[in-house]
């Protein structure tokens, strides 16, 4: 059941990836993504006769890049004391990341695993590590090269939501994805 659905997704992703290689856009694009050390985006080109069309194209391109970065860096979430990637949204999100990574070979990422505050402090470091490793294994299973994905764990030390209830805990049981290099001009899959 589960294996067959994964196979289906693999096929889907393969299709998406195959059709996904498009030439780089010429328009200079703003950089919505980290790393923050990079220079701010160049200003939009001065308006010309067809300036309006160009500006609209630039904005559309910027929005598209923002979406790509968002897809690449959106967290996935886990059940209590579990480190399996959940079927549904989280697998789809990882499939999307794999596709983007597939057409942007320069991009490297750091996956950090996190836990909620309920488990043992020390065990949660191992659990976070397992969660980050699970996402990495999923992505390398989709063809992303092993050395492009770094795995770290914060355990319960860096909650995303400081609350002490189930909704906060659910937000804190997560993997975060950070682009560490090559995140400038992302190509769409």
Partner 1 sequence: MRRSVLLSLVGCFVLAAAAHAQDPRPGESITVGIEYNPAARPGLVVVPGVGIDSVRAIVRRDLDYSDRFEMIAVSDPGAGGSSTGPINYGLYKALGAEFAVEMADRAGKVIARLHDVNGSQIRYEVEATLPPPTDGGFRMAVHTLSDELVRRALGEAGIATTRLLLVLNGRVHQMDSDGFGLRPLTPEGQTSLSPVWAPDGRRFAYTRLGAGRGGIYVQTIATGETTQVPGTETALNITPAWSPDGRTIAYAHSDERGTDIFTALLGGGTQRLTVGRFADNLSPTYSNDGRRLAFISTRAGPPQLYAMGADGTDQELLAPFDYGVTGSSNAPEWSPDGAAVAFHREVQGTAQVHVLTVSGRKLRALTSAGRNEDPTWAPDGRHIAFVSDRSGQRQLWIIDSETGRVRQLPTPGRARLPSWSRRLAGAVIVPNP
Tell me how crowded residue 78 is: count the other CB atoms within 10 A of its CB: 27
| Nearest residue (CB) to partner 1, 55 versus 130 | 130
Token pair listed for 90: 């989280």
Minimum Å gap between C-beta 20 and partner 1 is: 27
Minimum Å gap between C-beta 154 and partner 1 is: 5
Minimum Å gap between C-beta 159 and partner 1 is: 13
| Nearest residue (CB) to partner 1, 72 versus 127 | 127
Q: What radius of gyration, in Å, describes the C-alpha atoms of the chain?
A: 19
Which residue blocks in 22-150 are alpha helix, DSSP H? Answer: 51-73, 89-103, 121-141
Minimum Å gap between C-beta 34 and partner 1 is: 14
DSSP annotation of 117 reads: T
| Nearest residue (CB) to partner 1, 27 versus 180 | 180
Residues that bind partner 1 (CB under 8 A): 81, 110, 112, 119-123, 125-127, 129-130, 132-133, 136-137, 151-154, 157
Angle of helix 89-103 relative to helix 51-73, nearest 10 degrees, comes to 120
Token pair listed for 150: 């770094």
């Amino acid at each position: 059941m589960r294996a067959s659905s994964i196979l289906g997704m693999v096929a889907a992703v393969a299709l998406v990836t195959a059709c996904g290689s498009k030439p780089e856009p010429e328009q200079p694009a703003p950089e919505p993504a980290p790393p923050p050390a990079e220079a701010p985006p160049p200003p939009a080109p001065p308006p010309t006769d067809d300036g309006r069309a160009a500006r609209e194209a630039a904005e559309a391109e910027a929005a598209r890049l923002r979406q790509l970065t968002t897809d690449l860096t959106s967290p996935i979430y886990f059940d209590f004391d579990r480190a399996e990637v959940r079927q549904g949204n989280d697998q789809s999100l990882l499939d999307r990341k794999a596709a983007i990574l597939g057409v942007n070979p320069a991009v490297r990422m750091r996956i950090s695993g996190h836990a909620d505050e309920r488990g043992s402090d020390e065990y949660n470091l191992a659990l976070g590590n397992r969660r980050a490793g699970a996402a990495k294994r999923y992505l390398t299973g989709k063809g992303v090269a092993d050395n492009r994905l770094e795995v770290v764990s914060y355990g319960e030390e860096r909650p995303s939501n400081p609350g002490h209830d189930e909704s906060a805990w659910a937000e804190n049981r997560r993997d975060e994805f950070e682009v560490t290099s090559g995140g400038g001009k992302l190509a769409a899959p």
